[in-house]
Every structure is written in structure tokens, then in C-alpha cells.
Amino acid sequence: MMTTLRITMSSVPQEHLVELRFKENPDLWKWLTGQEQPPETVNSNPVFSAVRDKVMGNLNSHASPETRAAPGKPWVRGWDDYKKGRDSPKYGNQ
């Protein structure tokens, strides 16, 4: 079941949305998933808070904490698309 995050433009000043728009995706993902602490300017952004709550809610619903890295720690990469040696799987990350 897919749920939708609803943020109306009338409820949040547009500059909060624009502020996040210019952040790098890898950094934003690490902040949203708790791998790293976001800067205070990002952490206090109401759009970021709403998206982070949604991401963490989905993560908690679909992946138990025991299967994830501890908060503040980077996730282990599941596979390497460039590594196709003897010791790597033929398909996916198995």
C-alpha cells in the first residue's frame, strides 16, 4: 500500500521547499534515513521534517531496526555494479 506525503504550498513557505531543492541527493538521503545528522538549517526546515518523518515511518514499517545500521552509522552497500569478479554474485546482491 502506497501512502502519499501531503504538503500544501499554502501551509509551508515556498523558500523551505526551494532550500531543499539545492541539496545534494546523497547528503539528503543520509539525513533523511538517519545515517548522518543534518545541518541545523536543514533540520529546522518543516518540509525536511515532514519528508524525514514519512521516510522513517516507511523504513520502520518495512525493515526492522535489527536489520539496519545503527542510527548515525552509514549503511553497508548491498552490491557493486562495477565489480564482476569471481567472488561477486552473478545477479543482484545475493
Q: Is the pLDDT of residue 1 over 90?
A: no
Cα dihedral 33/36/39/44 (nearest 10): 30
Count CB atoms within 10 A of the CB of residue 19.
15
pLDDT at 92: 57
- Non-local (6+) Cβ contacts of 53 within 8 A are none
Give the pLDDT mean for 69-94.
65
Of 16 and 82, the structure prediction assigns the larger pLDDT to 16
Question: Model confidence over 11-61: pLDDT tens digits?
Answer: 668 888 888 888 888 899 999 988 899 999 999 999 999 999 999 999 889
Q: Give the burial class of 48: count Cβ atoms within 10 A of its Cβ; 0-12 exposed, 13-18 middle, 19 or more buried.
A: buried
What ranges do the domains of the chain cover? Answer: 14-67
Which comes out higher in pLDDT, residue 52 or 78? 52
